[in-house]
Structure 1
Amino acid sequence: MENKASQPTEDGQESNSATEAVAEVLAKQTKKPRFLQHVGIQHVHARSSDSNCQAELAKRGNVELRALVGTLTMQLKESEEARTRQHEEHMKRDEDNKKKQAEMDAKLDFLLSQLQM
């Protein structure tokens, strides 16, 4: 950091201040220079290759996540449709069973009325 502060800048202007030297070193040496943000200095140099890799990974991740969300959405729709069909089949069976039960009750009542005479 001391070397950075004593060297002239790339433009040939004055030497870097201690704060600027610290900011440059921290920006190059740390992944996320939170210290600089807390003291009000934005980092001078971002790791371009690192940020490019992170951006590329984020894009890939987004594409993969979107594909996964699409697949899961389709599976959810299919399972909801299957559940709806099953519910309709159960309701139809229940109605059929109620009709059969009513017919059986009517026949039983008829037989019992015949026996009592």
Structure 2
Amino acid sequence: MENKASQPTEDGQESNSTTKAVAEVLANHTKKPRFLQHVGIQHVHARSSNSNCQAELAKRGNVELRALVDTLTKQLKESEEARIGQDEEHRKRDEENRKKQAEMDAKLDFLLSQLQM
């Protein structure tokens, strides 16, 4: 506030009054500057710039969140496809192992039957 009060006006004339400086600071930094209304000073400027900034941040945040969700969805799909591929490989290996085991069992049965004779 002191900085605002000591700054010269745009016309280069007298410095801003303390009341005006207080009004500007309160209007910019408080949500509902009722003090200004009670002392008979209207809002120096509306907080629309702050509201616009908040709306822009929310919009940007929504866009960033949407991009993040899209990225995560893509990664999830890729991961699911990779898991399905691995499942198929495991099934093929299991089938091959079962066939090899069946062949080994048959050979072992043949050898055991030869020994018993």
Which TM-score applies when normalising by structure 1? 0.62
Q: Once the 2 structures are TM-superposed, how far is the Cα of residue 48 of structure 1 from its aligned partner?
A: 0.6
- How many positions carry a matched residue from both structures? 80
Q: Once the 2 structures are TM-superposed, how far is the Cα of residue 30 of structure 1 from its aligned partner?
A: 3.0
Q: What are structure 1's unaligned runs of at least 5 residues?
A: 1-27, 34-44
RMSD of equivalent CA atoms = 2.0
Q: Once the 2 structures are TM-superposed, how far is the Cα of residue 52 of structure 1 from its aligned partner?
A: 0.2
Q: Once the 2 structures are TM-superposed, how far is the Cα of residue 76 of structure 1 from its aligned partner?
A: 0.4
Aligned to 2:69: 69
Q: What are structure 2's unaligned runs of at least 5 residues?
A: 1-26, 33-44
Percentage identity across aligned positions?
Answer: 85
Aligned to 1:51: 51
Aligned to 2:91: 91
Which amino acid in 2 is paired with 1:98? Answer: R
Aligned to 2:114: 114
Q: Indicate how the Cα distance of structure 1 residues 111 and 46 shifts in structure 2: closer, same or farther if over 3 A, else same.
A: farther
Which TM-score applies when normalising by structure 2? 0.62
Aligned equivalents of 1:53 and 1:85: distance in 2?
47
Aligned equivalents of 1:78 and 1:53: distance in 2?
37
Runs of 4+ in 1 over 2 A off after TM superposition: 28-31
Which amino acid in 2 is paired with 1:75? Answer: Q
Aligned to 2:10: none
